Structure 1
Amino acid sequence: MAGHAARNPAAPALEMGHRRLSYGELARRVRDLAAALGAAGVGAGDNVGVCIGRSVDRVSSFLAILQMGAVFVPLDPALPEERLRHVLNSTDMRLVIVNAASPALPDMELDFVVLDRLPEVAGLPEFDWQPDDCAGDAPAYIIFTSGTSGQPKGVVLSRAALANYAVAAARHFELGASARVSQLNGFGFDVSVGDMAMALAAGACLVFPTDVQGLPGPAVGRFIDQARLTHLSLTPSALTIIPQADHPELTHIIVAGEACRPALVEQWGRGRTFINAYGPTEATIEALFTRCEPGHPVTIGRPVDNMGACLLTQDLQPVARGEEGELCLFGRGLALGYLDQPELTARQFPTVDIPGQGSMRIYRTGDRAKATAEGRFICLGRIDDQVKINGHRIEPAEIEAVLCDQPDVVDASVSLLAAESMPDRLIAHVVMRRGTGTFDPLALRESLSKRLPAFMIPSAFLPVPELPLNANGKRNRSALPLPPFLTEPPVARTVGTATEARLMALIDANVGQHRLAGVRDSFDRAGIDSFPWRPFCLRSRTRSMSDSI
């Protein structure tokens, strides 16, 4: 970023609505914020939080923290207070960057740097700022992911790993100074760090949507054209619900975070470059990628620059050619490890002998995969119970632990429900204490919402007398009962008008057959979350129904 600011300070760096910063103005903003951090006592190695809503100052905060040799820790303002408290405690954080719109943070004797009190950049300042050198193995940022222990775990990524990704992604995804890159991915989702890094490395313009433009679905479709985006980065689920249109300036689509279906490539991949990227947080955002073509199988491709991949057995031996194995990654992009969890780090990042490579430190992804004859990898699913929904990596054990903390819950099992004609969703089977009164799923949902982010709240809660076990005494999730709406015969419909009948037909198409008996049924009690309603709202409007519906 400093190099682009020196060479072409007037080039656009950041945009959001009417707010625009050139590279020269961004450099000045970073310098001023870094000075404020230094005055507040921030030094090399300190963990510094950033808790602000959607704003270009997410980028200036990220860069100022790196400039100070400190460690960037994104704090999503939408997280429950208890989860924020866990992140603040586990990182021993003492200072957080905020603005006037930031939520109240837990009372933990924190210091704050308030962005609104920094001087506003006006015009093009004389460029005199240069970043300090920092060791490549020094930590750059920490991302918290779901953990099996009942608490999220922090993944620590190095500066060398981030720099490698930034340069590799800019090359592989064909970013140049004229590119306009979206910043749609959620704060705290590691792909948002990747969006910032690759755009700035290329001298491109990173474009944030306003809160209205960022609403999933049709609003993002309008944002693509309003922002004149050339590169769109988002999850497959988010792309699925955008209405198809020409988008003449959009040349590249990059999807990551979950499996990409061939139908999505067919819909969006004609006449532009469609990239499917793969990578866990532990391998710095994205470690493999491929260009997808309509009508061809979707793979996760080959490793990015300075990264490698191999297939190993459970005993960490290479699999025979053509056989399946655990996908393991190695190279410059591997994380330093898990924050204050040396045993977990040793288990997930062992050192093994790889044919043709020698002794290498690897990361065990937990994903099953196979390789094609051309050397491309195909992801086949998980070895363990971990699931992905809308790009979020979720450990069911973390949700189960929170459920079992509830006063009347004896045991719980959380699993992914994938059924035709409806989005993937989480289902919780709950064993209640004997003598407990009426089972109240709404009360459980409300209690979980105080400790877990929204994407980890199950869509349905089903009471069961006990959790079934297999012959080895392990939990048998496949023997758990399905939600009633998948097994019970259709309920009698209570449709009063022609408009209600049309609405019910749309509801069936978007959330599954006969989930609701009528338009006055409760969405919550039927286990229906907001995600499938986005295409429903779009279709209701395209069929000449009133927006007020």
Structure 2
Amino acid sequence: MPQSEVTIEGADTATLAPSDRDRSLCDLFAEHVARRPDAPAVTYGPVTLTYRQLDRVTDSLASRLRELGVGTDRLVTILADRSLGVPVGMLATVKAGGAYLALDPAQPTTRLRTILEEAGPVALLTEAGEDDPSGLGIPVVPVAAHLEAAERDGAEHDVRLHTGGDPEDLAYVVYTSGSTGTPKGICVTHRNVVQRTRNVDYLTFAPGDRVAQVSNAAFDAATIEVWGAFLNGAELVGFDRDTLLSPGRLGPALRERHIDTMVIPTPLFNQLAADDPSTFATVSQILVGGDVMGVSQANSVAALPGCTLLNGYGPAECTTLATAHRVTPLPAGTLRVPVGRPISHTTCYVLDDEMRPQPAGVPGQLFIGGDGVARGYLGRPELTEERFLPDPFAQEPGARMYATGDLVCALPDGSLDFLGRSDFQVKIRGFRVELSEVDATLLQHPGVREAVTIADADTQSGDKTLVSYYAGAGAASPQTDDLKAFLRDRLPEYMVPSRLICLPELPKNSNMKVDRAQLPSPAVSSPPADDDAGAAAPETLEDEITAIIGRLLDVPSFGREENFFEGGGQSMLAIRLLTQVGRRYGVTMTLADFFEDPTARGIARYIRAAGPSASAAPADEAVAQPGEGRP
């Protein structure tokens, strides 16, 4: 069969110079230290390090890691988020010959311990503290000690410690949700990272460019940000979480910091673009990925002059990205934004259940080949063998392809249309979630005998949320609030269901398997919200705020002192809430302000402290639907 019927090709792999393909991250970074030693390499807050200074501090830290036994394929955990210690730790670890494992310190301790027990890191990097939060006795190395002036400016550190390494050496491990109830680690090599960030055709990285670092360190999008900058002589510019998630602050920050390139998760992009597309007006190129891009949001940002918008797709098993689509204004009636064509050094195959290529327009499972295919799963050879397969279409001996489990079809122009998952894996706010892992965690509670989780569409935004149904074990059956607290202690926030629905028994089909089609709709599992509630004029500022929250969460009532997050809210909804509050009352309340007291009472207190703008308003403004309000 002709290859055009078998594969959708990315750019020719020959565009990556052989000398680059066979070199390590350390080698390529060293080139820019030699070429532009005094050019800025990384900026976080008031601190900027030049390429020479970054080289010195990471050599200092790498020396310490080597003393602890870090070497080829040995792991170093980075327990930090959105701080200078993250890129410094990444670079220092690969200089020491090891591989980094970035973990979100906000994850539950039990989950962190599970990951660390499996990964067995040699050392744990923190910002400044010296305590091992896992209790496993892992040596802790504070990064701050290696960022002092003596390390930054001392010529004695101008000694290259790294020897280059092999391109197939491990560069990092990233953990994602696992179907067995245990997260799984994906092993990514130097070659994988190099082919995603050097001489690529989806973004332009050039010396002097400013690349925003906004991704959570545990999210694989950080690969594009950090190494896209460091391997191309650009400057990495850090953004704190509060700036990223607070309405009205991100746009000015992007403009003031002269950001050229930005990678942003789809759910956040959809929300920011819907609220104010001009947030991105000064950014030259924006890569969005992790979920389904909204068509109207895509059109509004694609229309900005001088802005290139890309819709990207790719599993972590293929080093963050596999396809990209340059978005142009889409015609009316368009249902989805395509995920595009394979990027450079990548091949994509649309195959049926018999591994036969599917013609354009016919759905099939997507298989991805090329230099981005990761080594496999950490310590799980059977799972690696199941998902990482020999590539029967490749010319290179030993080439492999990854079975994504995603359904796609090829469009007439050769780009790919993403149709959804072929199993029970979903994306929630850009993070990959195995629904069965949520189920398995629910079943760990002694009062739960059955559980099943689905992805439901939020009634207001259309964003996916998790809804779990469970059957209790008699008198031991937990209350939903207690069960949600149980889950928060064991799962990251994005995996905790927004709704928990208790049933006497889960519906079964004739094979005695849970019949998902017979589960009651989340919308009718509890009394529906009263659309006329709040039509009367609220009596106090607190009443106005509770009415706004009730509409946002689609609940019939919400208490003045009820915790927003315990009532079903999450960070994306919090952004929408603060956007509406800002428009209605003329205040700029950040997420950090909101977290201090995430209640209607807390918001009202903040508004009163901000000034006299919290005057009474017409009732229809006070209960405006999400997305409405004064411009």
Give the % identical residues.
27
TM-score (norm 2): 0.81
2:114 is aligned, of 81, 86, 89, to: 86
Distance 1:523 1:78, change over 3 A: closer
2:324 equivalent to 1:289: yes
Q: Distance in 1 between matches of 2:455 and 2:347?
A: 30
2:365 equivalent to 1:326: yes
Contact 1:53 1:102 in 2 (8 A): no
- Aligned match of 2:553: 511
Greater mean alpha carbon deviation, residues 358-367 or residues 534-543: 358-367
Q: Distance in 2 between matches of 1:516 and 1:370?
A: 44
Contact 2:458 2:465 in 1 (8 A): no
Whichever residue aligns with residue 288 of structure 1, its letter is T
| Corresponding residue SS for 2:451 | strand
1:215 is aligned, of 218, 239, 245, to: 245
Q: Distance in 2 between matches of 1:98 and 1:379?
A: 39
Q: Distance in 1 between matches of 2:399 and 2:159?
A: 42
Greater mean alpha carbon deviation, residues 341-350 or residues 479-488: 479-488
2:52 is aligned, of 15, 21, 24, to: 24
1:403 is aligned, of 438, 442, 445, to: 442
2:293 is aligned, of 260, 264, 268, to: 260
1:375 is aligned, of 414, 422, 440, to: 414
Contact 2:408 2:416 in 1 (8 A): yes
Distance 1:223 1:406, change over 3 A: same
Contact 1:24 1:125 in 2 (8 A): no
- Aligned match of 2:494: 455
Matches within 5 A, 1:197-276: 197-242=227-272, 243-245=276-278, 249-270=282-303, 271=305, 272-276=307-311
Contact 1:372 1:378 in 2 (8 A): yes
| Corresponding residue SS for 2:504 | coil
2:61 is aligned, of 16, 33, 51, to: 33
Query: What is the RMSD of the two structures over their aligned residues, measured on CA atoms?
Result: 2.5
- Aligned match of 2:177: 146
Matches within 5 A, 1:92-241: 92-101=120-129, 104-118=132-146, 119-120=148-149, 121-123=151-153, 125=155, 127-129=158-160, 131-169=162-200, 171-241=201-271
- Aligned match of 1:49: 77
Q: Distance in 2 between matches of 1:530 and 1:279?
A: 24
Matches within 5 A, 1:517-528: 523=564, 526-528=567-569
Greater mean alpha carbon deviation, residues 126-135 or residues 526-535: 126-135
Q: Distance in 2 between matches of 1:524 and 1:332?
A: 42
Divergent runs of 4+, >6 A: 355-359
Distance 1:33 1:469, change over 3 A: same
1:216 is displaced (CA, Å) by: 4.5
Q: Distance in 1 between matches of 2:391 and 2:207?
A: 41
Whichever residue aligns with residue 113 of structure 1, its letter is V
| Corresponding residue SS for 2:572 | coil
Q: Distance in 2 between matches of 1:139 and 1:347?
A: 21
1:352 is displaced (CA, Å) by: 4.7
Q: Distance in 2 between matches of 1:137 and 1:357?
A: 16
Contact 2:501 2:525 in 1 (8 A): no
Q: Distance in 1 between matches of 2:53 and 2:414?
A: 45
1:75 is displaced (CA, Å) by: 1.9
2:470 equivalent to 1:435: no
Contact 1:183 1:192 in 2 (8 A): yes
Greater share of residues in helix: 2
Greater mean alpha carbon deviation, residues 501-510 or residues 42-51: 501-510
- Aligned match of 1:342: 381
Q: Distance in 1 between matches of 2:407 and 2:170?
A: 29
Identify unmatched segments of 5+ residues in structure 1. none
Structure with the bigger RCO (C-alpha within 8 Å, sep 6+) is 2
Which string of whole-angstrom CA distances, capped at 9 and with x for unpartnered residues, describes residues 51-89 of structure 1? 124222211211111112211111211111111111111
Whichever residue aligns with residue 193 of structure 1, its letter is T
| Corresponding residue SS for 2:221 | helix
